Chain A
Amino acid sequence: MAFYVVQFLTGLASAASLFLVASGLSIIFGVTRIVNFAHGAFYMIGAYIAFTLTERLSGAFGFWGGIVLAAIAVALIGVLVEMVLLRRIYHAPELFQLLATFGLTLMVEDLVVLIWGPDDLVGRRAPGFKGAIDFFGQNIPSYDLFLIVLGPVVLGILWLLFQRTRWGVLVRAATQDRDMVAALGVNQKWLFTSVFAVGVFLAALGGALQIPRDAVHHAMDLRIIVEVFVVVVIGGLGSIVGAFVAAVLVSELNAFGILIFPKISIILVFLVMAVVLIVRPWGLFGKPEAPARKTPGLTVNPWRPLTQNERLMALAALVIAATLPLFAGNYALTVGSEIAIFVIFAVSLHFLMSVGGLASFGHAAYFGLGAYGVAFLAKMAGLPMIVCLLLGPLLGCMGAAVFGFFAVQLSGVYFAMLTLAFAQIVWSIAFQWVSVTGGDNGILGVWPEKWAASPSHFYWLALGVATLVTIALRAMVFSPFGYALRATRDSLLRTEAIGINAKRIQWTAFVIAGTTAGIGGALFAYLKGSVFPDNLGISLSVDALVMVLLGGVETVSGAVIGAIVYKALNIWLVSQTDLSKLVLGGFIMLIVVVFPKGIVGMLEMLAQRRRKASPPGSPLLAKPIESAE
């Protein structure tokens, strides 16, 4: 019995730091609607700075002072980031801020290694909390007891802050209904900055408090960020109490789950999140969002098919791309194939995200399923390549059909998180089911047949498929189905009122996007000759998001450019420097600030401005009618 009590307390201690970080994220998201990917980075910087301070400052005061100082220092960094970076892009399309914070995270991961060195750092134990307390023969670390008390204390302080101060009331109001606060004439700028500072403070405090139990290292951020998002979503966005309950729930399930299924930790949070989102889409303590009165950042520049000139330009670009094998070497061709495959992947997500308004955080699942589909068919059934390429993507299609059915019942960030959960579930199956998938050692030897083996042939194959896929998806944008899909994105109420079953439209789009991603994955398996679980992993899903956002989420085919730029730059940087993350992160942040509509979105805007600036010849032109051609 004592064991179960101690295991419970241990779970509570694990929950405390998770709660600290999650509450910060929850507050930030609730008010600013920023999906703060850099939250884990702030957590990590908090730990690093706390390490330095606690090593320099001596004594108990030095330790605790160092922890608090570190959190304050990081909060100030957060303020700087908010004012310099995020403030410029609040009006950018939804999720664009994700791109900025993603860039920041990349930079931080390299920066901490540059500043603090590559070694894992192990900090001091907390003065006064070094030992353990005996509980009927079981030891409970006294620092755990400290954390167990700290969690509810922080919860209480935050509760008082939100209930008893004007600032707190504003934060709660903004969480419920942003437009209302804006309408009340509150200075949103400073509300956002202060909220961001508080959120970052909590993240950094969570990181700093890890010093006595953990090693400080440069991958701490990734370890926590996804889990924290999950906790926030389970608890209900913007709900501090929810974050607390969810953190406890997840930690306790883990503490007791490993007694029965020792391998459960790898997947537990995602299983819980999937179940919660399906049963209670707003999280345990969340409330359905007030419907946005205006869709922020949505373009007022309607989409149109390419004009004759633009078609010719696209064709010319394609012809140039197709002649690459005449002058480029094998390496360039292989990179070209990889880029073409990522174009397929990016346009498939773009279709779902831009046309359907459904931003998936787990799109790699279908890419990877396509790859595994090919690997199974080629290695187990020994089917010829062309058959594998045709049938392999069906695995992506089936995955999308099953998961998409549940995912499209939700929208916005809940949709995103459910897709993430599904992707992680698929990933862990690939990772764990060693007898079938080979686990993380993957499936090897999936090489193309002779007719496609040479780099130039494979390049033409990839380029051809990418072209067909891009044209097909573009045609779909301007098909009756595409109109219906865009309609569901703009107004669910209206689509329902004109006889459209929005969920079925979105589900269909999900399956189309998943199948298309599967096509990319199938080619990828042959390009690399092997399939690994990270073909379905989070970082690949994030890559796809970045490519779409970089190209311009409001454009019809910006993802093509986004994929080319991002992938080419990434491959080149990784080849040129160990600090590729620093450079790439910096580049992304620059793009975000300079091109807040993405590369293609910005080009379109410039072209539009030029058209507008041209002298009004006819009265028709004088009106802002851009879509007429």
Chain B
Amino acid sequence: MRARNYFVGAAFALLAGGMAHSALAQDIKIGEINSYSLLPAFTEPYRKGWQLAVEEINAAGGINGKKLVVVSKDDGGKPADAQTAANELVSSEGVAMLTGTFLSNIGLAVSDFANQKKVFFLAAEPLTDAVTWSKGNKYTFRLRPSNYMQAAMLVEAAAKLPAKRWATIAPNYEYGQSAVAVFKKLMSEKRPDIQWVDEQWPPQGKIDAGPVVQAVAAANPEAILNVTFGADLVKLVREGNTRGLFKGREVVSFLTGEPEYLDPLKDETPEGWIVTGYPWYSIKTPEHDAFLKAYQAKYNDYPRLGSIVGYQTIKAAAAILAKAGSTDPEKLIAAAEGLSMPSPFGAITFRKIDHQSTLGAFVGKTALKDGKGVMVDSAYKKGADYLPSDAEVEKLRPKD
């Protein structure tokens, strides 16, 4: 019954009860699903991001003159519940497309649902390569740079390090496993001389950091790849700092530069890690400035990476709908394939070959500034530059 699930545009008052039926027949509805109750740290900024996008779109006249309405559902972090939500959005809300999801398995579940029910799905966050490759399908597109792309960006920097003995620490589930696998593969191609001396697989969300840090230290690596995030990362960093694990060792870390994960570390942020992330404070482009200004004006808070993802997801959805001029899924697919559009990170394109967007990420180093963790020396890496050749992608994707 919470009204904020049903954002109905700037000019539109939020109705009591918040029922989506308040949307008029000529409105265009987008169904949005995410793990709001399970992962509020990430999904709150994400929600703010897409709400801002809806407001902007409707203020600019909507989609081909029709008001855009986003109907949002919580999946509680469960694939089965995400499908129930998807079903509700499609069958009873009559949405034109599905968007959202954070966890990889939920992304895949909704993607499979979309394929079965012939509904357009724009995956926002899930990182697994399977979404666009091994389990890719005609109806599914993805915004965020995939695991592979982020790994490729990090490898580019990591390969330049002199370190030869590497250890890995990753959460024990598909995301962690595939991040490590891709990183190892790409790294070994560039640097056949390196050795993998240890790997640690703490269960996601349940790291027993002390023993893990000790075990990695015992293998005496010269460099460490970290894939843990969230509360696990906090524990790992604290134990690692106290036990001197990171002293004299290079660390390459997925996602750690995102404010969601970097900010909680505060003055304990380790310095000099090579990370992917979002240094919103140091991006000086007109596109980003505009977004930052609008976001701060509306929420009086700084954006997280989730804000960008949420914002751009709805912007992309609107662009696809506008170009298609229809809510027919086949027309939406035709419109989305090869579609280019602006984003706070610069222009992006949804590739025809695998439906992956070319949204990139920032790679930089962590540093401490005024008792807070920041990313320095960061540079934007365009997604298009970190994808395998078309021939390889062809092989990865099932024929449909």
Contacts and interface: CB of A to CB of B under 8 A. Distances in A.
Given A14-B211, A444-B109, A265 B203 contact: yes
Given A139-B244, A440-B105, A10 B214 contact: yes
A223 B38 CA distance: 13
Interface string B153-184: 00000000000000000001110010000000
B174 A530 contact: no
Contacts of B111: 444
Contacts of B87: 330-331, 334
Contacts of A334: 84, 87, 91
Contacts of B116: 445, 447, 529
Q: Quick one: which of A122, A255, A445, A581 has the most chain B CB within 10 A?
A: A122
A13 B210 contact: yes
A316 to B, nearest CB: 27
A-side binding surface: helix, strand, loop or mixed?
A: helix
B268 A441 contact: no
Interface string A194-217: 000000000000000000111101
A532 B266 contact: no
B172 A265 contact: yes
Interface string B28-42: 000000001110110
Contacts of B108: 441-442, 444, 530
Interface in B241-275: 242-244, 263-266, 268
Nearest to A453: B116
Contacts of B2: 576-579
B79 A3 contact: no
B173 A440 contact: yes
B326 interface: no
B1 interface: yes
Contacts of A212: 238
Interface in B361-390: none
B209 A534 contact: no
Contacts of A144: 210
B316 interface: no
B-side binding surface: helix, strand, loop or mixed?
A: helix
Q: How large is the interface on B (under 10, 10 to 19, 20 to 34, 35 or more residues)?
A: 35 or more
Interface in A98-139: 110, 113, 118-122, 130-132, 138-139
A431 interface: yes
Contacts of B263: 119
Interface stretch (A256-264, A460-468, A621-629): A256-264
Contacts of A265: 172, 201-203, 206, 208
Contact of A263 (B40, B172, B239): B172
B113 A529 contact: yes
Given A259-B215, A266-B203, A532-B79, A254 B208 contact: yes
B231 A120 contact: yes
A539 B77 CA distance: 11
B84 A262 contact: no
Contact of A120 (B174, B200, B243, B264): B264
Contact of B242 (A139, A220, A223): A139
Contact of A534 (B79, B113, B215): B79
Contacts of A581: 37
A10 B37 contact: no
Contacts of A266: 172, 201, 203, 206
Interface in B76-123: 76, 78-81, 83-85, 87-88, 91-92, 104-105, 108-109, 111-113, 115-116
Contacts of A308: none
A286 interface: no
A330 B91 contact: yes
B174 A440 contact: yes
Contacts of A338: 84
Contacts of A263: 172, 201
B234 interface: yes
B56 interface: no
A528 interface: yes
A223 B91 CA distance: 36
B38 A214 contact: no
B281 to A, nearest CB: 18
A122 to B, nearest CB: 5
A120 B41 contact: yes
B305 to A, nearest CB: 14
A431 B105 CA distance: 12
A580 interface: yes
A398 interface: no
A335 interface: yes
A173 B108 CA distance: 54
Given A138-B217, A214-B234, A530-B83, 6 more contacts: A10-B211, A218-B40, A442-B79, A455-B91, A529-B83, A575-B73
Interface of B: 1-2, 5, 36-38, 40-41, 43-44, 73-76, 78-81, 83-85, 87-88, 91-92, 104-105, 108-109, 111-113, 115-116, 128, 130, 135, 172-174, 177, 198-203, 205-206, 208-212, 214-215, 217-218, 230-231, 234-235, 238-239, 242-244, 263-266, 268
The 8 lowest CB-CB distance pairs between A and B, nearest first, are A118-B40, A215-B234, A331-B91, A255-B211, A330-B91, A10-B210, A331-B92, A215-B231
